[in-house]
Amino acid sequence: MAHFKPPNVAFTQMAGTGVFAELVGGDGEFKYYSDGEWKKSCSGKSVPIINPTTRETQFKVQACTKEEVNKVIDAAKTAQKSWAKTPLWKRAELLHKAAAILKEHRNPIAECLVKEIAKPAKDAVTEVVRSGDLVSYCAEEGVRILGEGKFLVSDSFPGNERTKYCLTSKIPLGVILAIPPFNYPVNLAVSKIGPALIAGNSLVLKPPTQGAVAALHMVHCFHLAGFPKGLISCVTGKGSEIGDFLTMHPGINCISFTGGDTGIAISKKAGMIPLQMELGGKDACIILEDADLDLAAANIVKGGFSYSGQRCTAVKVVLVMDSVADALVEKVKAKVVKLTVGPPEDDCDITPVVTESSANFIEGLVMDAKQKGATFCQEYKRAGNLIWPLLLDNVRPDMRIAWEEPFGPVLPVIRINSVEEGIHHCNASNFGLQGCVFTRDINKAILISDAMETGTVQINSAPARGPDHFPFQGLKDSGIGSQGITNSINMMTKIKTTVINLPTPSYTMG
């Protein structure tokens, strides 16, 4: 049985205090950020944020109205016009400043992540530091790639003389709407904010409810850095009340969304604007007979159970060759038993999942597998939102867990008799985010990687988005477009061309 560790709060600098005090109203509710100011909503209503560990209200945020959304988008439109005229090096300078402030205040922001989404304390700090680095990298990459354009001449196309010089450059799209998910409310917000701002866009952030307070703290770091009023704003509230209004708003010129099925609904409702989406995965881990089983087991546990499996890129199904399955399962079991289980403040490996309904969903998948005969490698155990890590062996394709994303610390193992069977299972999924293959034969690994219908395949390592400048994309229902810093900057720009027409052909003579 995995160990249970008692709570041990380690943060000294508290959320909503010090430089963050102005985020909080006299009633203790967190304000929203509009036109460079922290404001209370006219709705007079707030949305509670339930701490997944205590299952009590931890924070309250404003329930913004449609009128407030309109004002934010109007301000974003105005601010973007002058931001686009701000020299690239100045935009980069401000982003570097925001990154430094973000890293300086990593502790209170990490504390929010611990309280709102039960992220283990160390991982919470890592998320904030990684976010600062991401913002700095955006500044540097933007200066490089936005500082360059193309020069074309007309005589390469049949029938043309060299009478036209074509100059291309990248211009901003306008107002970007960023909607990050609960599992990385800071990092997956800045992965949209950084590229948007360096490219000359303004940005409206709608954070997830769980994670909203961490996002508000992060936005305040941009405020402290001195970005112009209205350029970045953050509206909080129920997706059911302002979600459609935001995503269908005519003032929005691009949506960058990370989350679940809601993304599919957004893509159907959004107008003729560029969309960038990452909507989850059912990442398969294929283990061949010649694999280094110790390496595979370590990656299965890290990939399957870090942040309690609540990552789009988590290992979500192990497809192992039957001849090595017993040995692999024993190695994984030996590591699972060592995972610590308990509160995020104590940095446990397995912490409560984000909501009670998530825990219920995970339990539903476990019970379905039980009823259909899966082998439980550990006893199923749950206390509130806390679910003990569970490895399910001998899972078959008729079980829901073979196909659905638990987004929890439950990992199915399917025994396969051929590589083709593994590839077939991977490709039969609606998802196609990442996958991984463990083998010592690089030639086989390349063939399998090419055969897997996923945006990325990791050879001899668990799936992962980072480093954050790598391209990150999903096929099928896993998403639209590609992310990663460079791709996001390019996605948030349009190509503009100017053609100089000459009265007579002009050839460079040398």
Binding-site ranges for ligand G3H (CB under 6 A)? 183-184, 278, 311-313, 464-466
Smallest distance, Å, CB 14 to ligand G3H? 27
Taking every pair of Cα atoms in the chain, the longest distance, rounded to a whole number of angstroms, is 83
When CB distances to ligand G3H are compared, the closest residue is: 312
CA distance 156 to 137: 37
What is the number of residues in the chain?
A: 510
For residues 192 and 465, which CB has a smaller minimum distance to ligand G3H in the complex? 465
CA neighbor of 235 nearest in space, from 65, 85, 467, 86: 65
CB of 452 to ligand G3H, least distance (A): 17
3-state SS, one letter per residue, for 438-496: ECCCHHHHHHHHHHCCCCEEEECCCCCCCCCCCCEECEECCEECEECHHHHHHHCEEEE
User: 65 or 306, CB closer to ligand G3H?
Assistant: 306
Nearer Cβ to ligand G3H (202/358): 358
38 DSSP assignment: E
Rank residues 223 and 465 by Cβ distance to ligand G3H and give the closer one. 465
Closest CB 100 distance from ligand G3H, rounded Å: 22
Nearer to ligand G3H, 185 or 352 (CB): 185
| CB of residue 185 to ligand G3H, shortest distance in Å | 11
Q: How far is the CB of 369 from ligand G3H (least distance, A)?
A: 23
Helices (H) and strands (E) in the chain, counts: 14, 28
| Dihedral (CA of 405, 409, 410, 412) sign | positive
Characterise 226 by phi-psi region: left (phi > 0), alpha (psi -120 to 50), beta (else). Answer: left
Q: How far is the CB of 210 from ligand G3H (least distance, A)?
A: 14
Closer to ligand G3H by Cβ: residue 136 or 458: 458
> Partners of 172 in the beta sheet?
493
- Residue 267 to residue 281: CA distance in whole angstroms: 18
Could you give the CA distance from residue 11 to residue 13 in angstroms, rounded to a whole number? 6
| 301, HSE (Cβ side, Cα atoms, 13 Å) | 21
Q: Is 345 a catalytic residue?
A: no
- Name the active-site residue from 68, 111, 141, 278: 278
Active site residues: 278
